[in-house]
Each structure stands twice: as C-alpha cells, then as structure tokens.
Amino acid sequence: MYKKVKHKNLKIFLANDSEIVLKKVSELLNTIEGVKIVGQAKNSHDTLQNVKKTRPDVIILDIKMPGKSGSVKGPDPAAAGIETLNIIKDEKLVPVVIMLTNYPYPEYFERCRELGADYFFDKSKEFNQLIETIQVLVKKVLTDDTGNFP
C-alpha cells in the first residue's frame, strides 16, 4: 500500500514520446468521469521530475522514449521507460504503473513485471483494455471508504 487517497479523482500522469499518442490517450481519459490528468512528459527525465511534483495515482508509461538508460538490462538498452519504471517503483513514486507500448515482446513484458509494472498493454490493439482498467481504478478510488489505493 502506498498512500491514502484524499481526493475524489484518479490522478493520472502520461509519459510517452509521441504527441499523437499523448493526445489520443488524453482524449479517451477525459471522457471518463473521475479522471484528472495531472501531467504529461515526453522523456524519462521530465517524467521523473514531474511525477515527484504531481504525485499521481497512476502513470501510463511508454517503454521507448528519450532518456538515460545506462542501467537497463534486457533486450534493448535504449528502452528508457523500463529504467523509469524501475525508479518509480523503487522510490514508490506512483502506486499503479501501466505500461503502454508498441513493443509487446515477451522479454519486455517479463522485465516490466519483474520491476513491478501493474499492467502491460499493446498500443496497437489494447486501448480498450487500457480504458476498462482506468474505469475499474476510478471506481475503486470513488467507492473505497478506507482511502487505500491501490
């Protein structure tokens, strides 16, 4: 358990290097009552800086985006989103991490799971599952009297 939620919206941060994806995800999320997008970033450095400031409940994180990736182990050392995931979970910055990627390879999936990703979705065919997951998380925040999240 990370924290007590003291607000009535699910605070979401978006991290993706594609302006098109950021726009599409934002538009979809803005149709869900109880969602508040608290920030966006296009690289790992800005993601970490802004997540520390905004303290979201959920981050939707891309695997491949600009940023340092020197400590990444796995199929592609350029996958700075995986390092960002590692830092987020290690420092307990965000309770729920959703990986949204164009690279749904088993190696990435396994590495993200090992590092604590809560969900892993393919951008090309799993947007509906992303939205359904957010709806479930919103419902949990709005109906959980204990304030515990997730």
Going from the C-alpha of 101 to that of each of 38, 60, 143, the distances in angstroms are: 21, 10, 30
How many whole angstroms separate alpha carbon 131 and alpha carbon 60?
Answer: 11
Tens of pLDDT, residues 87-100: 999 999 999 999 99
Contact (Cβ atoms closer than 8 angstroms) between residue 13 and residue 56: yes
Tens of pLDDT, residues 22-65: 999 999 999 999 999 999 999 888 999 999 999 999 999 999 88
pTM given for the model: 0.87
For residue 15, list its beta bridge partners: 41, 61
Domain ranges for the chain, please list them. Answer: 8-149
The arrangement of secondary structure in 8-149, i.e. its CATH architecture, is: 3-Layer(aba) Sandwich (3.40)
> What's the mean pLDDT when you consider all of the chain?
86
Pure H helices in 8-61: 19-29, 44-54
Pure H helices in 7-146: 19-29, 44-54, 80-90, 106-115, 127-143
